[in-house]
Structure 1
Amino acid sequence: MRVVVAGAGRLGSQTARALAAAHNDVTLVDIDDDRLAALADRFPARLVAGDAGDPALLERAGAYTADLLIATTGNDDDNLVISLLAKRRFAVPRVAARVNDTENTWLFDHRWGVDTAVPTAAPLISLIEEATEAADTVALLRLSRAGVTVIETAITAHSRTAGRSLAEVRLPSGTVVATVVRGGRPTVPDPRLRLAPGDELLLVSHSATEDEVRAAFQ
């Protein structure tokens, strides 16, 4: 699925990261160059700087071929304009928008191109499920409700674990490898499996940070 996320704040960046981890083609747009620069290192989605309320920018971000657009900026006016452009000009099949001020909820409907209006207090998982209409897309993310985090890391030719077996990798406490994606296909994380450049790993942990997990592999 091709997804454009407008707004790289906490909600937007987490949404983009989660959808990218579920192997969607994700583009994250934000008008703040510094905010995108802070995300640039190893962020799993394409980053585009500019105003998502500008049709030319949305076109450059891939709106014409998008299956889903999610407007997550902190400004309701911006989210409505972005949604209307997505639906009316680019015919995006599904548009979801964040409602920051509950008094504006009545505006977020088909008249403004919004298929799904999501209150700002709604959890990330609810936003993604309502936007995609596919609960299985974010099944792993439900673990977060039990205090478990899903973390992704990729093996490159420069990773010190390239060529080593999973059994040789010392994982942080409370962390397990859920799957190894190789050639676009998930594989069983057998301890004898030797890691290779291009492998993507999904791990679950109840205590480790992303930096700790990546340090174990990189």
Structure 2
Amino acid sequence: MRVAIAGAGAVGRSVATELLENGHEVLLIDKNPAAISVERVPTAEWLLADACEITSLDEAAFQRCNVVIAATGDDKVNLVVSLLAKTEYGVPRVVARVNHPNNEWLFNESWGVDVAVSTPRLMCALVEEAVSVGDLVRLLRFSQGDANLVELTLPEDAALVGVRNGDVRWPEDTALVAIIREGRVLTPHRDHTLEGGDELLFVAAPSREPQLETLLSPGR
């Protein structure tokens, strides 16, 4: 898989390193000469260019990319890169970094964004996930399909404790995708019995989140 990353700062380089270790082809783009540190990610391709310019993206061969990641520290740049990648080059998957929470509403399919990753939201979610039991925590928003990845730690006194997954009538537009139990990741099937302390991961439409939280709350 060919991946282009706009922004060769700490975030872009870290993502590039992970992708390279997983066997992918990676191109790092940055207009700042000081950011071009080939020795830090020597197996990546590097391009000194402005990712907001069509000529630069032509040189980067965006039309051959399976994924484009807009990972700069400037939300305006990330939006422009995402829009160009999607509309001018038809890149199948565009992932964009959100730096400022107030701008998160812009990072959607109208700007070519398939997945928006908000660093502040993720940090907040990780804190909430660590201390919250019985509260729905939104981990990630998917622009396509209008859905979120959400997590809830099932309280010990929830009505669904001891109930088989196959017997639960989950809300529409909601899917239980993983159960984390005692450090293990379980792929849910009908015969799994829900236990107190289970971390449940769902992909759910935002409109269904209140129903889901009510269903999993204590003393229902």
SS in 2 for 1:8: coil
- The alignment's TM-score, normalised by the length of structure 1, stands at 0.54
Is the Cα–Cα contact under 8 Å of residues 6 and 52 in structure 1 kept in the other structure?
yes
What does residue 43 of structure 2 align with?
44
CA distance, structure 2, for counterparts of residue 65 and residue 28 of structure 1: 14
Q: Unaligned 5+ residue runs, structure 1?
A: 131-218
Runs ≥4 residues deviating over 4 A: none
Tell me the CA shift for residue 97 of structure 1: 0.2
Q: Percent identity?
A: 41
What does residue 136 of structure 1 align with?
none
- With over 3 angstroms needed to count, the CA separation of the structure-2 counterparts of 1:21 and 1:106, relative to structure 1, is same
CA distance, structure 2, for counterparts of residue 91 and residue 40 of structure 1: 31
Tell me the CA shift for residue 42 of structure 1: 5.6
CA distance, structure 2, for counterparts of residue 42 and residue 12 of structure 1: 10
What does residue 134 of structure 2 align with?
none
Larger helix share, 1 or 2: 1
What does residue 88 of structure 2 align with?
89
AA aligned to 1:22 is N
Tell me the CA shift for residue 41 of structure 1: 5.8
What does residue 191 of structure 1 align with?
none
- The alignment's TM-score, normalised by the length of structure 2, stands at 0.54
Task: Count how many residue pairs are aligned between Structure 1 and Structure 2.
Answer: 126
What does residue 15 of structure 1 align with?
15
Listed one character per residue, the Cα deviations across residues 151-193 of structure 1 (whole Å, up to 9, x for unaligned) are xxxxxxxxxxxxxxxxxxxxxxxxxxxxxxxxxxxxxxxxxxx
AA aligned to 2:72 is T
Listed one character per residue, the Cα deviations across residues 43-91 of structure 1 (whole Å, up to 9, x for unaligned) are 2210000100111111211201100000000000000000000000000
Q: Unaligned 5+ residue runs, structure 2?
A: 124-138, 143-220
Tell me the CA shift for residue 39 of structure 1: 3.1
What does residue 112 of structure 2 align with?
113
1:130-209 equivalent positions in 2, closer than 5 A: none
Is the Cα–Cα contact under 8 Å of residues 94 and 113 in structure 2 kept in the other structure?
yes
CA distance, structure 2, for counterparts of residue 27 and residue 10 of structure 1: 15
AA aligned to 1:11 is V
Is the Cα–Cα contact under 8 Å of residues 51 and 57 in structure 2 kept in the other structure?
yes
SS in 2 for 1:106: helix
Tell me the CA shift for residue 40 of structure 1: 3.5
Query: How large is the Cα RMSD of the aligned pairs?
Result: 2.2
SS in 1 for 2:52: coil
The farther-off stretch of 95-104 and 40-49 is: 40-49
Tell me the CA shift for residue 30 of structure 1: 0.5
